[in-house]
Structure 1
Amino acid sequence: MRERYDFWLQNPTGALMTARARRAVAELAARYGVCLVVDETMRELDLRDAVGPEPRIRRAVLIGSAAKAVWGGLRVGWIRGPAGLIGELSGNALCGPLSAAPLQQMIAVELLGDPDPVLRRRRTELRRQRDQLSALLAGDDRWRFTVPPGGLALWLRLTGIRSDVVVERARAHRIDLSPGPRFAADATLTHHLRVPYTPPAAALDHIAAVLDEVCRD
């Protein structure tokens, strides 16, 4: 059964929560006094055409990151939340040691002052790379996947071979992939594989060729 998702780009699937489900979660949290911690690190990587800004859940703690939206090497994140909570976190003894280097923070402040040009370019590149890798892997009965509406990777469901075997074989070709159990608390998803489409075009061609080779029984 197919379901259309409209909110929250999820890692590793790239799925988005529907507006109805999002409202239900917010209503349940308010009813039972639950504080929601919302991971928005992929929020800016919506690759759908002509999508407007989606409303945020009120009274939630929101987590963002420049590492996903801008560049993986810019390890700067942030938290949006009530002033009292932010003040308490800022006063924690671990706040300083766990913070990014001052130079990285200054770069993030500069980029995020006017992020639209950077984000437009980032989304254009990711959309092209996603479509390229999807086309290379489409129509093969050794795996199934849905082209995600955003995010950074394809989420493959392998129909035969286990993902840990694929990862081990791919490593011999200097390709580092992530097996499904890495994303499951109970070590399930043994036939799922996360394949990023963030590398340049030539590397994506190589990844597709390696997958074709290592998924042969």
Structure 2
Amino acid sequence: MSSRLVTLLGVQSAAGASAASLADQIRALVLDGRLTVGERLPSERALALELRRSRSTITHAYDLLAEGGYVHRVHGGGTGVTLPHQRRAPAPAVDADSIDMSVASMGSTPGLYDATVRALPRLAGLRGTSGYSLQGLPDFRDAVARRFTERGAPTSPDEIVITAGAMHALNLVLSAIGRRGERALIEQPTFPHAIEALQRHGYRMLPTPVDVDGWDAEHVTDTLLSARPDLAYLIPDFHNPTGASLPDGSRSVIAATARSAGTRIIVDETTAELDIDRGWTPVPFGALGPHVITIGSLSKLAWGGLRLGWIRAERATVDRILATRASYDLGTAFLEQCIAVELLDDLPELAAQVRTRLSAGREAIAAGIAALDGATMSHVPGGLSAWIDLGAPISTELSLAARSHGLILPPGPRFATGGVLERRMRIPITHDPETATEAMQRFARAWQDVRHGATPPVGVYPRTAVI
């Protein structure tokens, strides 16, 4: 059986690598969080046998990692993952001029300031209250429930819980209904921090493939029926990172199959309102049964700094969430909720602004990819990003090369389990055209480095969240 390190590396990409290249690949796994601090790596002898390489090559790779502060070696005690000490100076490539495309999010909507001003009288009217509300302000829950109803999923405000974003919502749901040791069906690729949240709550992953052309619905239903997972985590609208949307027919089949298998579905609708030109409006998953729990957020629609999200669930589940929540936090800030009520009152204009900005970003990224020989970008109908086909398993190498040009891009395997998807890379379409154009120029230089065999300089790269 392969060690976890070799599984993450992939035998084919690691077997022929030089010591320096192997060290770079392992460092990328550490920076992406796929290898955790304190984790033991295989011995030099064991890794050499797995990769069919000389022990001296493995020793040199580990030495390079140790010099950079990415592993700690104890004679007779093995090799463990570490991170460079904070006093170490950062590599010159990652500075104030770097473009961080690990963040797929836009700046604030132009209407945020006016909505904030309009929200102040609403906030002033709440000064006589305690300032705490586990479930959220009635006005905001009314607005969220009304939007679900308008989209085809009749919803009562009592079925809504207001949270501090979608990740907060996911963790509250898992804390309330999660079952350690059980299995969870996830899409592959998917949002990396959702994988981490499920793992932290003790779940074992069951991946099902998704690509730019959509889901293998038969694989999903077969997995549900054969494995009967406790949970399924899905992003059915403008899937992150592929941009695909699940057809209505497949939604109904998957929802019915999950119900018969006893599987609860957690649907992440963070990207559901980010339509550019999809051309059709799906039925919300929440309309397909009480076993569906929906989480959502205003982060991508309005602004990431407005930390607001929600949970839509049946009343019994809401009660369990509220009973659990008090040990985590005592509710979501009132000011943000008051602002959100004002924003949702003018949702059509907000959505139109987002559509215009995403369309411009999409065009800039498409132009940059079209100029590269070997990379392809499928049409992106909406959502946060383009899921680029690199034409070869070079994603991690390209990610490292991009950093040397001041561009932070997570590699494809960051969105998966098991070190796969080296042919893919997520590139956000959320940046303004000027920033996106500059980013693609830097990407092109990194592309040429990789295509011509140039090795990126060994430096100290910061770990970044993928948003």
Q: Percent identity between the aligned chains? A: 32
Indicate which of 311, 316, 336 corresponds to 1:79. 311
How far, CA to CA, are the matches of 2:299 and 2:214 in structure 1? 27
How far, CA to CA, are the matches of 1:87 and 1:23 in structure 2? 27
Could you report, residue by residue, the CA deviation over 1:149-178 in whole angstroms, capped at 9, with x for unpaired residues?
111111112124622222222223332212
Segments of 5+ residues of structure 2 without an aligned counterpart are 1-211, 216-235, 453-467
Query: Cα gap change, 1:20/1:188 in structure 2, threshold over 3 Å: closer, same or farther?
Result: same
Query: Cα gap change, 1:213/1:100 in structure 2, threshold over 3 Å: closer, same or farther?
Result: farther
Query: Cα gap change, 1:50/1:157 in structure 2, threshold over 3 Å: closer, same or farther?
Result: closer
1:49 CA drift (Å): 5.8
1:113 CA drift (Å): 3.2
How far, CA to CA, are the matches of 1:49 and 1:148 in structure 2? 9
Could you report, residue by residue, the CA deviation over 1:120-166 in whole angstroms, capped at 9, with x for unpaired residues?
11112101221232123126333122122111111112124622222
Q: Which residue number in structure 2 is paired with residue 11 of structure 1?
A: 240
Could you report, residue by residue, the CA deviation over 1:154-207 in whole angstroms, capped at 9, with x for unpaired residues?
111212462222222222333221211110011211221111121111111111
Q: Which residue number in structure 2 is paired with residue 137 of structure 1?
A: 369
Q: Which residue number in structure 1 is paired with residue 260 of structure 2?
A: 31
Larger Rg: 2
Indicate which of 77, 83, 96 corresponds to 2:329. 96
**Tell me, what secondary structure is at the counterpart of 1:155?**
strand
Equivalenced residues, count: 214
How far, CA to CA, are the matches of 1:142 and 1:113 in structure 2? 46
Indicate which of 327, 339, 348 corresponds to 1:107. 339
How far, CA to CA, are the matches of 1:173 and 1:4 in structure 2? 33
CA contact (8 A) 2:248 2:282 kept: no
How far, CA to CA, are the matches of 2:306 and 2:351 in structure 1? 14
CA contact (8 A) 1:161 1:215 kept: no
CA contact (8 A) 1:154 1:194 kept: yes
Indicate which of 439, 448, 452 corresponds to 1:207. 439
CA contact (8 A) 1:41 1:63 kept: yes
CA contact (8 A) 1:38 1:61 kept: yes
TM-score, normalised on structure 1?
A: 0.87
1:38 CA drift (Å): 0.8
Q: 1:150 aligned to 2:378?
A: no
* Higher RCO (CA 8 Å, separation ≥ 6 residues): 2
How far, CA to CA, are the matches of 1:181 and 1:32 in structure 2? 30
CA contact (8 A) 2:393 2:422 kept: no
Indicate which of 177, 195, 215 corresponds to 2:427. 195
Q: Which residue number in structure 2 is paired with residue 120 of structure 1?
A: 352
Code of the aligned partner of 2:329? G
Segments of 5+ residues of structure 1 without an aligned counterpart are none
How far, CA to CA, are the matches of 2:443 and 2:214 in structure 1? 28
1:50 CA drift (Å): 5.0
CA contact (8 A) 1:35 1:61 kept: yes
Q: Which residue number in structure 2 is paired with residue 20 of structure 1?
A: 249
1:72 CA drift (Å): 2.3
Q: 1:54 aligned to 2:282?
A: yes
Code of the aligned partner of 1:145? M
Code of the aligned partner of 2:438? H
1:28 CA drift (Å): 0.6
1:117 CA drift (Å): 1.2
CA contact (8 A) 2:405 2:445 kept: no
